[in-house]
A = this chain, B = another copy of it.
């Protein structure tokens, strides 16, 4: 039997030994282990894959809790397949890539629904038998708009929301419902070109590369913990449309990589940074 444990706590001497000792007492064999200490705030993170007969997750959890520092967070065998909801506007490339991966069971997640503030992507979504909810932001307050989205989400209970090119800024109130559970793809190498129209800004600045960033959403616009970033070269022949076209390729690549890492429980959040055990 394969198992996974995630631990984060204040750092102190001997943590690796302590944890491996407890696993050993339970006759559990470590098959892969990654650990990291953030020296700036003395925080310890570890992700351990192990095998063996685990009699009781609860008793292992209790034993670890007893010996580890106060405030330690321990997760044993997190849900292997996350349930996710996708929020979209009109751009199709991230949705398309995600639903194909989903169809062929390579997403490490179950897409429970797609919500669009335009109806454009309904035909594609429904082709895969996934419910599509069209919730326009027009002619209503942001509160009402987000309220309608929340109603849909409550009925589906997703583990994560993925903003797959969702072009509306969510309110703090909305985001508070999903702490560390919202993943966004931003079409620039943050912190360059925060906010709207990054390709236009990139064009006007005359940069020689463009990028994409997947990050958790917090209440600071485009300032949440970064999960993954990539760039590709551009040159003087690229107008905004060419940047948009080329940019789509890395947006897809960065978002799918970020989802894979998060859904495989390889990403820890520490303040506005991530620890990624690839």
List A residues at the B interface (Cβ < 8 Å).
Answer: 13-14, 16-17, 20-21, 23-24, 29-31, 33, 35-39, 92-93, 96-97, 100-101, 103-104, 106, 124, 127-128, 189-193, 205-209, 211, 213, 225-231, 235-237, 239, 245, 249, 253, 272-276, 278
Q: Across the two chains, which residue of chain B brings its CB closest to A51?
A: B13
Contacts of A209 in B (CB 8 A): 189, 211, 229-231
A97 to B97 CA separation, bound complex (whole angstroms): 7
Are B273 and A206 in contact (CB-based, < 8 A)? yes
Task: Flag if B92 contacts A239 (CB, 8 Å).
Answer: no
Chain B residues whose C-beta falls within 8 Å of the C-beta of A35 in the assembled complex:
33
A24: B residues at CB distance < 8 A: 14, 17
Is the beta-carbon distance between B189 and A206 smaller than 8 angstroms?
no
Q: Could you tell me the distance between the alpha carbons of A226 and B190 in the complex, rounded to whole angstroms?
A: 18
Interface of A is mostly: mixed
Q: Which of B23, B97, B104, B274 has a CB less than 8 Å from the CB of A92? A: B104
Residues from chain B with a CB closer than 8 A to the CB of A245 are 106
Check A229 against B208 for contact (C-beta < 8 Å): yes
Compute how far the CA of A220 lies from the CA of B231 in the bound complex, rounded to whole angstroms.
Answer: 25
- The answer on a CB contact under 8 Å between B208 and A191 is no
Contact assessment for B274 and A206 in the assembled complex, using a CB-CB cutoff below 8 Å: yes
Q: A17 and B23 in contact (CB under 8 A), knowing A190-B207, A207-B190?
A: yes
Distance, CA A227 to CA B38, complexed state (A): 29
Q: Is the beta-carbon distance between A33 and B36 smaller than 8 angstroms? A: no
Most buried by B among A17, A103, A278: A17
Most buried by B among A23, A124, A207: A207
Give bound CA distance, A218 to B48, whole Å: 36
Most chain B beta-carbon neighbours within 10 Å: one of A13, A39, A193, A213: A13
- Residues of chain B contacted by A208 (CB below 8 angstroms): 213, 226-229, 276
Q: Could you list 5 further interchain pairs (A-B, Cβ under 8 angstroms) beyond the known A14-B29, A191-B205?
A: A100-B100, A190-B192, A206-B274, A209-B230, A236-B274
A225 touches B239 (CB 8 A): no
Known: A189-B209, A191-B205, A225-B206. A37 touches B33 (CB 8 A): no
